[in-house]
Amino acid sequence: MDHAPVMLNEVMEALSPVDRGVYVDGTFGAGGYTRAILDAADCTVVAIDRDVSAAPRAAALKENYGERLVFVHGRFGEVEELLQRAGFDKVDGFVLDLGVSSMQLDQAERGFSFRYDAPLDMRMDMSEATETAADIVNTYAEKDLADLIYAYGQERHSRRVAKKIVEARSAGRIETTGALAEIVRGAVRKSAKDSIDPATRTFQALRIAVNDELGELERALAASERILKPGGRLVVVSFHSLEDGAVKDFLKERSGRQDRGSRYYPGREAEGVAAFTLMHTKALKPTEQETAVNPRARSARLRAGVRVAA
């Protein structure tokens, strides 16, 4: 199944690529945004992905676009350093699609989904020697586990889930997605209000923790202020309230709507000086036509800002 880039029309309208411009696709994935940007203008795209398996897809696209496409393996939170290494300074646009790609979800061995019984991994970059979801569920103290599941998964029954996990691991390590999903389902009843699997929120929390997703986002937002030229566009598509809230707060703060110092730009007081203007007063949502064709888009929210010469 092909990966459909979410809210592509809205992203392209917000980004508005121009000839000779330089754009960063911080979440290359299957290359949907990158391809659309390169087709829209005679420009350059620096495509970043922390998943090394994206490199062959980028190489295939490069056969069509040549030097206009520059692929970089790394985290989008390190965008400033990655750009410098690739020989770029300021750019005209920076786009992020914060969702886990359908390709990653469909690869059972990655351990992102409980649709398959697979190793409990969840690392975006499996080449990194970092802790996995299995490491977290088997080593964290019960309170720390509950706090993590509550904070990142917004799971109301996090203490009950953590207790069940600790009880289960006393009989042996929890190694697979299937085993963890069954444990969580034993702690949380399925809601009559929706069709969401009871394990969904716990799996989300673990994925966010394993990949430091909110930390990466915060670093990327802070860097956007430094890498974008005046008039440059920041476009972010998020898929849950924690991400969307972080983007909303950043754009609100850096558009001069708050009078306190910026946590995104250490050492600099906001002093009412705007770094961005907001492109929309509220987050954009996908159209009904798109969600009918691509259910993955239902929870998507797009926010965008234009860099000003502050």
Q: Lowest-pLDDT range, 196-205, 249-258, 290-299?
A: 249-258
Q: Where are the alpha helices (DSSP H) in the chain?
A: 8-15, 32-40, 55-65, 79-85, 102-106, 133-139, 142-153, 158-169, 177-187, 200-211, 213-227, 241-252, 288-293
Number of folded domains that form the chain:
2
Within a domain: residue 2? no
What pLDDT shows up at residue 189? Answer: 85
Co-location of 112 and 202 in the same domain: yes
Which neighbouring-strand residues pair with 236?
Answer: 96, 303
In this prediction, residue 267 has a pLDDT band, given cuts at 50, 70 and 90, of very low
Within a domain: residue 1? no
Rounded CA separation 213/204 (Å) = 11
Rounded CA separation 11/37 (Å) = 10
Co-location of 89 and 51 in the same domain: yes
What percent of the chain is predicted at pLDDT more than 70? 87
The secondary element (H helix, E strand) that includes residue 69 is: strand 69-73
Question: In the listed set 167, 182, 211, which residue is the last one of a domain according to the structure?
Answer: 211
Q: Is the pLDDT of residue 224 over 70?
A: yes
Within a domain: residue 3? no
The tens digit of pLDDT for each residue in 14-50 reads: 999 999 999 999 999 999 999 999 999 999 999 999 9
Co-location of 178 and 264 in the same domain: no
What pLDDT shows up at residue 296? Answer: 83
In this prediction, residue 107 has a pLDDT band, given cuts at 50, 70 and 90, of low
Ranked by mean pLDDT, which of 26-40, 105-119, 253-267 comes out on top?
Answer: 26-40
Co-location of 116 and 27 in the same domain: no
Co-location of 243 and 297 in the same domain: yes
Per the structure, the complete domain to which residue 147 belongs is given by 108-211
Question: In the listed set 176, 211, 246, which residue is the last one of a domain according to the structure?
Answer: 211
Co-location of 280 and 290 in the same domain: yes
Q: Is the pLDDT of residue 242 over 90?
A: yes
In this prediction, residue 270 has a pLDDT band, given cuts at 50, 70 and 90, of very low
Co-location of 145 and 189 in the same domain: yes
For range 272-284, the mean pLDDT:
90
Within a domain: residue 269? yes
What pLDDT shows up at residue 190? Answer: 81
Co-location of 234 and 279 in the same domain: yes
What pLDDT shows up at residue 75? Answer: 95
What pLDDT shows up at residue 3? Answer: 67
Co-location of 95 and 117 in the same domain: no
For range 231-242, the mean pLDDT:
96
Q: Is the pLDDT of residue 80 over 80?
A: yes
| The model's pTM | 0.89
Question: In the listed set 188, 211, 234, which residue is the last one of a domain according to the structure?
Answer: 211
Q: Are 177 and 157 in contact (CB under 8 A)?
A: no
Q: Is the pLDDT of residue 236 over 90?
A: yes
Q: Lowest-pLDDT range, 161-165, 248-252, 270-274?
A: 270-274
Q: Which CATH number is 175's domain given?
A: 1.10.150.170
The tens digit of pLDDT for each residue in 198-214 reads: 999 999 999 999 999 99
What pLDDT shows up at residue 42? Answer: 98
In this prediction, residue 310 has a pLDDT band, given cuts at 50, 70 and 90, of low
Q: Which CATH number is 96's domain given?
A: 3.40.50.150
Co-location of 99 and 118 in the same domain: no
The tens digit of pLDDT for each residue in 137-179 reads: 999 999 999 999 999 999 999 999 999 999 999 999 999 999 9
Residue 246 corresponds to which amino acid? A
What pLDDT shows up at residue 101? Answer: 55
What percent of the chain is predicted at pLDDT more than 90? 76
Q: Which of 60, 145, 115, 80 is nearest to 71 (CA)?
A: 60
